Chains A and B, each alone.
Chain A
Amino acid sequence: MDDWKQLLDRAACGLMQTDDSGTFLRANHVFCSWLGYAEDELVGRRRLQDLLTMGARIFHQTHWAPLLRIQGSVSEVKLQLVTRGGEAMPMVLNAIRREHAGGFVHDVAAFVARDRDRYEEELLQSRKRLEVMHALARDRALYAEQMIGIVSHDLRTPLGAIRLATELLASAGAVALDRAVPRIARAVERSNRLIADLLDFTQARVGSGISVTLAPVDVHRAVAEIVEDLRGTYPTRTLSHQTTGAGVAPLDENRLGQVIGNLVANAVAYGEPAAAITVTSALEDSTCTISVHNRGAPIPPPVAATIFEPMTRGTSDGSQARSVGLGLFIVREITRAHAGTAAVESSVEQGTTFRVVVPR
């Protein structure tokens, strides 16, 4: 008998017996030493579930206890136990519920499962990594879809204009030159802009982001020149330029032109045609703000929430709106490359203001 007691005490696993409510009736030396308790601190004083972490206790109540009642046994349940010192120790537990002396007892065997726990943790981590990679792959597939959408739809529009102009030339001959040549020139210009946008879009979506070369720029002077150029592009619209403060900011001047160009193109497409479009350059102590304001119907909040995202295929907007959508995405990416933020505010009373803020 002493041999058996010793064998159980020194077994290669934790062994214990509890009553039907989980209170320890005995626990072998191995189990006690794993958890840092003396046997008499457990027997009659603690329940098995008292040694579990809270999450494991809920599992014990919702799975272990009913299983033991109905099946009479459970096995391979992995739970976190808490040592006397407060350290969590993962264990795999098997239990049998059996009749004994007019009542029921639970015979429980426990195995420390640190290695299994670590392995599972690695498995879970690699599953999470895979989920991230899967999301990335999905994103790239979406990018390809967007790209195809833009190329197949938006680039066709200027090509269509060129084809019409050449057909006109073919049928009407030299008398159509005056009408056809400017159309072709505009279509070529538009295609060029689209291709430049597409390259930026690609760089921002799948590359390392839009590249900028920062140099101190006299902001008001640069914006004034850009606005002057845009007046040439939109001769029928009124563009005003307002300034606040003065000085230089670290900017990429070509990219600044792109930002204002895209924002003004957006204001031209959606703003009230009769009202002026106002470009404001403002210099504060630590920031440089460029804003473009137009009057007109406000942007509905759900649209405003995603307005800087690249337009996806299947949008109901026309071709012009689609390329404008790409334009705002590029605005945001250029702003990000300047460590700045782009935002929009829109209401019936105030009209629509796109605001780009970059640090000085």
Chain B
Amino acid sequence: MSLEKRNNVQVHGDGPRTMFFAHGFGCDLNMWRLLAQAFAKRYRTVLFDHVGSGASALSAYDRSKYASLQGYADDVNELVAAYATGPALFVGHSVSAMIGMLANLRAPALYAAQIMIGPSPCYINDGDYVGGFTRPDIDGLLTTLESNYLGWSSTMAPAIMGTPERPELAVELTNSFCRTDPEIAKQFARVTFLSDVRAALPELRAPTLILQCTEDLIAPVAVGQYMHRVLPDSTLTLIENVGHCPHLSAPSSSADAIRAFLTSRSL
């Protein structure tokens, strides 16, 4: 199967460098529609879905391969090797920031920089480390997932109510956005929220931007500060935003922060 089909790869824009955008748990590449276009003028942009999410090839989903973040990271390296012109810029949201880091550690030459939006190396509290969650919280999420996939039909698309102001969106997205096979969603949730890649942070040599929201339940400010302390070469930028998706709720300040970082690193 081609990588294009497997990961629903969508290439736009043009420029000497290639920018990859990787969505986090719960969504797909449509997450990037507001942010990615801000970079399409100066960069070649590559959007893709992780296998098991969005319009990726579900037949490529292999439970043992994707039982750890490394399985996703290996896919990322294949994509970057195939689609990048020169060392790539990797933009990862949430768990994908960590997937990008793991990919970078395996093949450092492929990457020029990592841009992490709302990253967390470990979601569960552990001694002095505050990840923000306990194990029962994560079990509660799994129950919520189970409950909602029960409520959804076999296409797993949440029903869309009329959105009179933006009818084009409803039609276009009804069957893609947030669509996931329930078993895959549960495994991805487990792999995401039970991951702990703190030990790998000090190994990452690539210049890294940590884009941290001021109020983010999934990745609290303390986690961003922890990452900034432990990563060898990182910039921490706080964005005034409530929620976990600044690229959706504050796309222009997110784009500004990324541009400022890239300029400061002459990328």
Residues of A within 8 A of B (CB): 20-22, 49, 53-59, 61-63, 65-67, 69-80, 90, 92, 94, 96, 98-99, 116-117, 120, 123-124
The stretch from B83-91, B96-104, B195-203, B244-252 touching chain A is: B244-252
Chain A min CB distance to B30 (Å): 6
Q: How far is the CA of A245 from the CA of B242 in the complex (A)?
A: 74
Q: Are B160 and A73 in contact (CB under 8 A)?
A: yes
Report B230 CB to chain A, min CB distance, Å: 24
Q: Is B141 at the interface (CB under 8 A from chain A)?
A: yes
Residues of B within 8 A of A (CB): 24-27, 30-31, 33, 94, 133-134, 136-148, 150-152, 158-163, 165-166, 169-170, 173, 177-178, 193, 215-218, 242-245, 248-249
Chain B residues closer than 8 Å to A120, beta-carbon distance: 147, 150-151
Contacts of A67 in B (CB 8 A): 158, 177-178
Q: A55-B137, A70-B173, A71-B170 are in contact. Are A63 and B159 (CB under 8 A)?
A: no
CA distance A189 to B151 in the complex (A): 63
Q: Say yes or no: B144 contacts A56, CB within 8 Å.
A: yes
Are B151 and A56 within 8 A (Cβ)?
no
Structural contact, B178 and A63, CB atoms closer than 8 A: yes
CB <8 Å contact, B178 and A66? yes
Known: A59-B145, A78-B151. A69 touches B248 (CB 8 A): yes
Docked CA distance A302–B193 (Å): 32
Q: Contact check, A58 vs B217: say whether CB atoms are below 8 A apart.
A: yes
Q: B244 to A75, Cβ gap below 8 A?
A: no
Given contacts A54-B133, A72-B163, A72-B169, contact A59 B144 (CB under 8 A): yes
Q: Please report the C-alpha to C-alpha distance between residue A92 and residue B137 in the assembled complex, in whole angstroms.
A: 20
Interface CB pairs A-B, < 8 A, 15: A21-B243, A58-B140, A61-B216, A65-B245, A66-B26, A67-B158, A69-B248, A70-B30, A73-B162, A76-B151, A76-B158, A78-B144, A80-B140, A96-B161, A124-B150
Q: Which of A20, A70, A73, A124 has the most CB of B within 10 A?
A: A70
- Our pick among A55, A79, A123 for the contact of B139 (Cβ within 8 Å) is A55
For A56, what are the chain B residues with a Cβ–Cβ distance below 8 Å?
Answer: 140-141, 144
Sorted from nearest, which 3 A-B pairs have the closest CB atoms? A55-B140, A62-B26, A54-B137
Task: Assess the B163–A73 pair: CB atoms within 8 A.
Answer: yes
Give the docked Cα–Cα distance between A96 and B25 (Å): 23
Q: CB distance B140 to A54 under 8 Å?
A: yes
Instruction: Report the nearest A residue to B251, measured CB to CB.
Output: A69
